[in-house]
Amino acid sequence: MDSTSSSPPVDPADSRAFQRWLKKAALLTGLGATPEERQRNHEEQKRLACEKWKTELMNYSPSVVFMLKHLKLSGCPVPSSNIVCAPCDLTRSGGFHPAGAIVLCQGHFGDKKHMEDTLTHELIHMYDHCKFKVDWHNLRHHACSEIRANSLSGDCRYMRELGRGYVSFTKQHQACVRRRAILSVRANPKCPDEAAAERAVNEVWESCFNDTRPFDEIY
């Protein structure tokens, strides 16, 4: 008879590893987790997916890599930490802050191409702020950057507009750029009404729509 004593079996309830696994399983299935825990886990999963796409775009997207290069050449390098994935309200997919930060609204992107266009859009705002010293309280300055960002980022491609429910066969690109620029300027706290937003866009339209810097042409 073997005299070697064996260790008593471990109760899973006493295992920290088992408890961690159980907690993870609860979050994944929703069973045994509080609504707050489920919501936190849901947001964390969206953040991780957003960060994955962001990293891929910063390394491989032609438009994003191009804009990052020209921002660096202009003296305004953009580290990955300045592009933040975060929850946002449902009215937007991204945003730029003049302090040098971009927000990508996690969970608001139907696909990576949508995020690519959004990130390129916000990088154009960042480029304008760096290169041209934009005063974002000046409606004409704001309008000019919105015209350029909407025109050059891919936001107004035909299929993107079709997905929004806008169909036009003549000057579709220009109509999209103008509409979206007016909407953005209207949201400026310094803008009193839609007429002022439309006026600001009209006043700078020709020069800003034709300014494709740093691209050679509309992307």
Q: Which residues are catalytic?
A: 122
Helices (H) and strands (E) in the chain, counts: 8, 3
- Full DSSP string of 32-92: T--HHHHHHHHHHHHHHHHHHHHHHHHHH-HHHHHHHHHHHHTT----GGGEEEE---TT-
Beta strands in the chain (DSSP E): 83-86, 94-97, 101-105
Which residue, 119, 160, 158, 139, is CA-closest to 208? 139
- Whether 104 contacts 87, CB under 8 Å: no
**Would you call 97 helix, strand, or coil by DSSP?**
strand
Nearest in space to 161 (alpha carbons), one of 135, 183, 188, 179: 179
Query: Tokens 């034709």 identify what position?
Result: 210
Q: Which of 206, 132, 147, 212 is nearest to 180 (CA)?
A: 147
